[in-house]
Structure 1
Amino acid sequence: MSNALPLPKYHQIYLVLREQLHEGAFADGLPGEFALMEQFSVARITVRRALQQLATEGLITREPGRGTRPSGTTPQSATMAAGAAEGTQQAHLTGLLENLVTMGLRTSVKVLEVQTVTASNAVAGALQIAVGDAVQKAVRIRTTREGPLSHITTYVPADVARKFGRRELARKPILLLLEESGVHVGRAHQTISAKLADAVVAKHLDVAVGSALLAVRRLIYDDQERPIQWLHGLYRPDRYEYQMQLSRVGSIDAKVWVSKEMSAQFH
């Protein structure tokens, strides 16, 4: 666990597990107490306190002899994950996507996983396809000269991704691969928040479990308004930042700020 966070260890574990539950993890049940003790390097009483907090909020159910399972209560919907919440800033193509391609060309990538899977409720909702439809899931780590930068998971409809796989994803940014496949990229919708690193991501990004990460969800549309890529990105905040230029429009009585350009800086 990260000792730099001003939070009790049990609360850090609670936050990590809560995020995983919200993302639909643990369909077959949560790990046992001893497995969680080993994962987070804490005492049993600490794990039990974190699980009790989750149970109090109705996120898990604990039954003797049957283990701990998700209750099915999730405050996040696929619609919000796709960026459909009212008031979410929509990123313009100018600058943002060009910057993403530039970043892809200036960093190295390690492909951890590429496989065809069936779309979950969340993925189907974002990509506007049927639950169970085939999608390409790819997991990659991007690295700069300073070390690991990001842990990226992308979902692309199988018919769109049929022309590229592991070898191509290791060589080129996925936006270039999409365009080479005949896709005309139209726009992007992006949300930015924060997330705590779980054990798997922490290992790949070389940070402590429970460390704060910059979380980005980006939905890419083609020029016909079809969603063609849903991205979940986790970035080390000490190596990655977003910058946005703002300008005021309207009269002095209506102070409205609008974005002119967004760029991503990494080091």
Structure 2
Amino acid sequence: MDTAMPLPKYHQIYLVLREQLQEGRYDVDGVPGEHALAAQFRVARITIRKAMEMLVADGLVSRRPGLGTWPRSAPAASAAAPRPRAAQKAQLTGLMENIVNMGLRTAVRVLDCVQVGAPPAVAEALEIAPGEPVIKSLRVRSTEAGPLSYITTYVPLAVAAFTREDLERQPLLMLLESAGVEFGGATQTISARLADAQVAPHLDVAVGSALLAVTRLVRDVKERPVQLLQGLYRPDRYQYQLQLSRVGGIDAKVWVSEELSAQFH
């Protein structure tokens, strides 16, 4: 755990587990037991127990004697990738430029690329039925300074089929274009997350460290969702920059974004 954070360890663990529950991480197998979590976070069982009590109090999990700990249905507001309002939309051209720029200046390592059933939160974002087949890929992108991002993507199998070898040869968006996808637009949200025990080693940070979280939903020209991306970035190596312009009448001038760029080192 990150000992520099001004939060007790049990609260840091609570925040990490809460985010994992909202992602649907434990929908199939349930939450690991106290022994497993204590080993994962390298803390005492009493610390894990306090974190679990907070999750129970929040109604996020239910503990069943002899059966383990299982997630409860999360409220709609906690969906992994809600559709933003029109004012939050980013133009796909700007996103594509960022992706190409990042591809030229960074190296990518494909950790996994497998077909899985869509977890509920992912299915909701992609507008498909829970359990419908999707291709899930995990990638780590790095610069000369070290690891930069941990990226998880989901693509419905009905949209495109590709393998790990394909992903190692070509960027994902190019694979989708080769499959006949015509990109129409994308919505993107940026927030903050905490590094869990799965992500922290890949980004070379402590568990509980603050990360920049980017969720991007890409649609085709028919407004069909074709890709859900969930990226976790080290804030010391990555930042977003917006170019703003002052528009409107003299009585109602507002700042609006014209383009979005990414900076990393």
TM-score normalised by length of structure 2: 0.92
How far did residue 142 of structure 1 move?
0.9
Counterpart AA for 2:259: E
How far did residue 192 of structure 1 move?
0.6
CA distance in 2, matches of 1:120, 1:65: 25
Gap change, CA 1:73 and 1:133, over 3 Å in 2: closer
**Seq. identity, %:** 64
Match of 1:154 in 2: 153
Counterpart AA for 1:35: A
How far did residue 196 of structure 1 move?
0.5
Match of 1:181 in 2: 179
Counterpart AA for 2:18: R
Counterpart AA for 2:23: E
CA distance in 2, matches of 1:96, 1:261: 9
CA distance in 2, matches of 1:159, 1:49: 43
User: Does the 8 Å CA contact 2:219/2:227 hold for their aligned counterparts?
Assistant: yes
Match of 2:26 in 1: 26
1:34-83 deviations in whole A, cap 9, x for unaligned?
Answer: 222211111222211111111111112224433322232345454xx434
How far did residue 228 of structure 1 move?
1.1
Match of 1:43 in 2: 44
Worse overlay, 220-229 or 142-151: 220-229
> Which of 192, 208, 224 is matched with 2:222 structurally?
224
Match of 1:92 in 2: 91
Match of 1:54 in 2: 55
CA distance in 2, matches of 1:168, 1:102: 20
CA distance in 2, matches of 1:229, 1:35: 33
CA distance in 1, matches of 2:107, 2:182: 25
Match of 2:253 in 1: 255
Gap change, CA 1:75 and 1:181, over 3 Å in 2: closer
User: Does the 8 Å CA contact 1:101/1:175 hold for their aligned counterparts?
Assistant: no
Worse overlay, 10-19 or 178-187: 178-187
* Paired residue total: 264
Structure 2: runs of 5 or more not aligned: none
CA distance in 2, matches of 1:188, 1:73: 25
Match of 1:208 in 2: 206
**Counterparts of residues 120-131 of structure 1 (less than 5 Å):** 120-131=119-130
User: Does the 8 Å CA contact 2:149/2:233 hold for their aligned counterparts?
Assistant: yes
Counterpart AA for 1:21: L
Match of 2:231 in 1: 233
CA distance in 1, matches of 2:56, 2:159: 41
CA distance in 2, matches of 1:77, 1:87: 20
1:161-192 deviations in whole A, cap 9, x for unaligned?
Answer: 22x32112113221122223332222111011
How far did residue 85 of structure 1 move?
4.1
In structure 2, the residue corresponding to 1:258 is in which secondary structure? strand
In structure 2, the residue corresponding to 1:160 is in which secondary structure? coil
Counterpart AA for 2:148: L
Counterpart AA for 1:263: S
How far did residue 87 of structure 1 move?
6.1
Worse overlay, 124-133 or 210-219: 124-133
RMSD in angstroms over aligned alpha carbons? 1.8
In structure 1, the residue corresponding to 2:158 is in which secondary structure? helix
CA distance in 2, matches of 1:145, 1:31: 36
CA distance in 2, matches of 1:75, 1:128: 14
In structure 2, the residue corresponding to 1:95 is in which secondary structure? helix
Structure 1: runs of 5 or more not aligned: none
In structure 2, the residue corresponding to 1:99 is in which secondary structure? helix
Give the ranges of 4+ consecutive aligned residues of structure 1 lying more than 3 Å apart after TM superposition.
Answer: 63-66, 73-78, 85-88
